[in-house]
Homo-oligomer: A and B are copies of this chain.
Amino acid sequence: MKKKYRVGILGATGMVGQRFIQLLANHPQFEVSALAASDRSQGKPYYEACAWRLSGHAPETIRSMRVQAPTPPIDCDLVFSSLPGDIARATEQSFAEAGYPVISNSSAFRMDDDVPLLIPEINHDHLGLLDQQRKRYSDRGFIVTNPNCSTIMLALALAPLHLNFGVEATIATTLQALSGAGYPGVASLDILDNVLPYIGGEEEKIETETKRILGRFNDGRVDHDPMAVSAQCHRVNVMDGHMAAVRVKLRRRVRIEEVREALKAFRSVPQDLRLHSAPETVIQVLDQPDRPQPKLDRDAGRGMTLTVGRLLPDSVLDYRFVVLSHNTIRGAAGAAILNAELLIAKGYL
């Protein structure tokens, strides 16, 4: 049996931190060796420090681990980070400088020129940016990020269309789940019998990150794609599972069957490399008129498969569809873990 990488989780008590712990519980390549959080929970056993919000209880081995301050050194080979925005930048930098690979779900470094904003199915070649980071961080430290939860979903749905036909413009209207706001996050008085038409910073993130992810790696840098991206974001009363109503304008005229086929057939490096967290089906396309639905489809492919439905011609742009993915798995913890698996496969860890 191969030795596992020992991982530390920064932000271990939050919603995404809990997903990290859940997804890593029986992972063949990683084992959790350290937990850190920025809040009052430091020094307590995880069991006391964390309001566990997933079904059941935290895994037995984790429950008694002490939560530490997110300051290097901590006892691990690499860190997964889901720290809140305000402290993520300084903290993640200090870990990279101390020689830790940092696989981050935070937004702090996503738009930095030398940091890969990585979705393994789309832009594994952006890992070339790590050469640039060698100038910044001595030793073996570096930072790799995954995009915002909604952006991952949108970019994954656009990727096969962009690859095959070219996407000129896209309009996405999201209906996002509560877990995306963390815990305690959205007050129940704000969302019961209600919709919130505002998620701070989200529309900007989707509009800029998408162009970076789909951009070309060229001569040591990423050129952002010129496509136009419009996002309107809403919070709805759903636990897990972000949804987006998407319209696309393509660079050339294609039939709807071609669009459908491109979505269904999409597979890429993680599937070829058989990465542990890579879903067999990247995008499942459903034909029932009332799918996707968060409750029924968010767990497809253990939360790593996107579901697309309601693919139709659009009267303003070319085509429209509805896409759904699990926001704390494919859109956060699972995304970071898949990134780490790719880093192993590519020899970066």
Contacts and interface: CB of A to CB of B under 8 A. Distances in A.
A111 interface: no
A157 interface: no
B207 A315 contact: yes
B295 A194 contact: yes
Chain A contact patch, size range? 35 or more
Interface in A287-338: 289-300, 309-310, 314-317, 320, 322
Given A56-B299, A236-B236, A230 B243 contact: no
Interface in A246-273: 247, 249
A245 B237 contact: no
Contacts of A194: 238, 293-296
A193 B238 contact: yes
**Protomer copies:** 4
A93 interface: no
A294 B173 CA distance: 17
B316 A171 contact: yes
Contacts of A309: 197
B170 A232 contact: no
B184 A232 contact: no
Contact of A187 (B171, B183, B298): B183
Interface of A: 15, 52-56, 169-171, 173, 175, 178-179, 183-198, 200, 207, 228-230, 232, 234, 236-239, 243, 245, 247, 249, 289-300, 309-310, 314-317, 320, 322
19 contacts: A53-B296, A169-B316, A171-B247, A175-B236, A183-B189, A187-B187, A188-B188, A188-B237, A192-B237, A193-B295, A195-B238, A195-B293, A197-B322, A198-B290, A229-B316, A230-B320, A232-B245, A232-B322, A237-B238
